[in-house]
Amino acid sequence: MSAKEQKLHLNAFLYGTGHHEASWRYPDAKPELGLDIRYSQQLAQTAERGLMDSVFLADGYAGRSNKLEPFTQLAALAMVTEYIGLIATVGTTYNEPFHVARKFASLDHISGGRAGWNIVTGAQSAAFNFSRDEHPEHSDRYHDAEEFVEITKRLWDSWEDDALVFDKNAGIQFDNGKVHEINFKGSYYSVKGPLNIPRPPQGYPVLVQAGSSESGKELAAKTAEVIFTAHQTMEGASSFYTDVKSRLAKYGRTPDQLKILPGFSPILADTEAEAREIDEELNGLTATEEAVKRLSLRFGVDLTQYPIDGPVPLHAALETEEVNGHKSRHQLIVELARNEQLTIRQLVNRLAGARGHFTFTGTPIQAADAIEKWFRNGAADGFNIMPQLLPSGLDIFVNKVIPELQNRGLFRTAYEGRTLRENLGLVRPSNIRAAISNQI
């Protein structure tokens, strides 16, 4: 690896008052700012001050939530930042490729090339908000998603990069020979095109993927440039890393074309004792009963019928194959309970910090140690930073962990470029249509 390739990539996963499910009850927390754009602007500016690659907003289309919609929110964040990438989850199952391709193109133009798309298929509960009787099966959703992404790429490519002419004398705004219909007819969608906005500055937004099931890994190997993934141990992360990177070759891709960023969900304080105190306080604030009910839904078994300080009744839980959605997370949780022989209460507390992502409690130096260890042992190209408390957890990470990583030569001391692709070290994709035109 060259010196440049040895740098970490760091994403800041913004998530209300923090990733710990009880974070909103913490004394400092201001959950009433969930819809206040100034709150997330400050978080994005903090992450940019730390030279982080990107901020990320998760999303879904059902349930009660107290947060803004990602496209509108990220466009607003673009106005108060200059370098940091802006990644949004957008699901494929209940959207149209034309709308999604266009909104990402617009966000990419507005931000000067900083958009990223976390591609998910979507959750079961959304079906009923979109006139559907049922949620499609896992593999069906993945085939749909594959076609969906293919269409968006063709739409972004429907404008060649030099299609805009603006020749006032000749009266020509667009070179019509460089704006193409795509005439896509697939199993799920047919889309004529062209897109009604010119090609994004980055060519395509950076394509991110978060599913880690078998189909998720395969789709990622084929199309993703960044993976957000959840692992409880360095060994698990490392074997996932090796597995996914080894799948790239068959799609003609090299390992550096895909950055794997496991979740890293810290509670940080100047001393270990202080950090542990925060952790205990947060666990004390966790609504255990509610969490047991949620876990019951995931496992398909009513856990309230079992003693909370007894073992997790894994024999009664659904098999991963029976689950439609969040398959890999299901598997991770089952393995966590089995490998560490957890009680129901212990499992609930382990999941409260970051829903199955790797949690960490300690000092900034210890956090840097953990990050360096995973990175040097081939378990990660960087991390998806998920502070259990926000904004304080991001402040400490940027003020104390990042300088330590910089001192160790593991993280940038200035942005490499202005676009997210440039900072992630990803090439701008060439235009398929332009390549075809040139052959003719």
Please give the residue ranges that form the binding site for a second copy (CB under 8 A): 24-25, 29, 31-32, 35, 37, 60-69, 71-76, 78-80, 94-96, 98-99, 102-103, 105-107, 109-110, 128-131, 164, 166, 168, 171, 173-174, 176, 179, 188-194, 196-198, 285, 287
Residue recorded with tokens 């007819």: 185
- The response to whether 20 counts as a known ligand-binding position is no
38 versus 315: smaller Cβ distance to a second copy: 38
Q: How far lies 440's CA from each of 63, 181, 191, 333, 434, in Å?
A: 51, 17, 24, 54, 10
Q: How far is the CB of 308 from a second copy (least distance, A)?
A: 17
- Is there a binding annotation on residue 161? no
Measured from the CB of residue 50, what is the shortest distance to a second copy in angstroms? 22
Q: Which is nearer to a second copy, 18 or 382 (CB)?
A: 18
110 residue type, one letter: I
In 7-64, the DSSP E strands lie at 9-14, 54-57
Identify whether 194 is preceded by a cis peptide bond (ω within 30 of 0): yes
Nearer to a second copy, 285 or 314 (CB): 285
Please answer whether residues 29 and 17 qualify as being in contact, where contact means their C-beta atoms are separated by less than 8 angstroms.
yes
d(CA 415, CA 428): 17
Structure-derived torsion over alpha carbons of residues 297, 300, 301, 303, reported in degrees to the nearest 10:
-30
Q: Closest CB to a second copy among 105 and 371? A: 105
Tokens standing for 53? 């690659």
Min. distance of Cβ 182 from a second copy in angstroms?
A: 10
213 assigned binding-site residue: yes
Nearer of residues 107 and 258 to a second copy, judged by Cβ: 107
Query: Do the annotations mark residue 142 as ligand-binding?
Result: yes
Structure tokens at 180: 């193409």
The two tokens of residue 179 are 């704006």
138 annotated to a ligand binding site:
yes
* Shortest Cβ 122–a second copy spacing (Å): 12
Q: How far is the CB of 225 from a second copy (least distance, A)?
A: 21
The DSSP call for residue 6 is G
Report CA Rg, the chain. 22
Distance in Å, CB of 354 to a second copy, minimum: 18
Is 89 annotated as contributing to ligand binding? yes
The angle formed by the CA atoms of residues 402, 369 and 280, to the nearest 5 degrees, is: 90
Give the residue with the Cβ less far from a second copy, 63 or 252: 63
Q: Is the dihedral of CA 353, 242, 380, 139 positive or negative?
A: negative
| Contact yes or no for 129/186 (Cβ under 8 A) | no
CA distance 191 to 328: 32
Beta-bridged to residue 115, according to DSSP, are: 86
Cβ proximity to a second copy: between 68 and 275 the closer is 68
What are the start-end ranges of the H helices in 50-203?
70-78, 97-111, 138-156
Q: What are phi and psi of 34, to 5 degrees?
A: -55, -35
Minimum Å distance from CB 266 to a second copy?
Answer: 23
Q: How far is the CB of 278 from a second copy (least distance, A)?
A: 16
- Least separation in angstroms between CB 299 and a second copy: 23
Q: Which residues does 28 contact at the CB level (< 8 Å), separation at least 6?
A: 389, 392
Contact 369, 243 (CB under 8 A): no
- How many CB atoms neighbour CB 42 within 10 A? 17
CB-wise, 285 or 432, nearer to a second copy? 285
Q: Which is nearer to a second copy, 96 or 214 (CB)?
A: 96
Q: Which residues are annotated as a binding site for FMN?
A: 59, 89, 138, 142, 212-213
Q: Which residues are annotated as a binding site?
A: 59, 89, 138, 142, 212-213
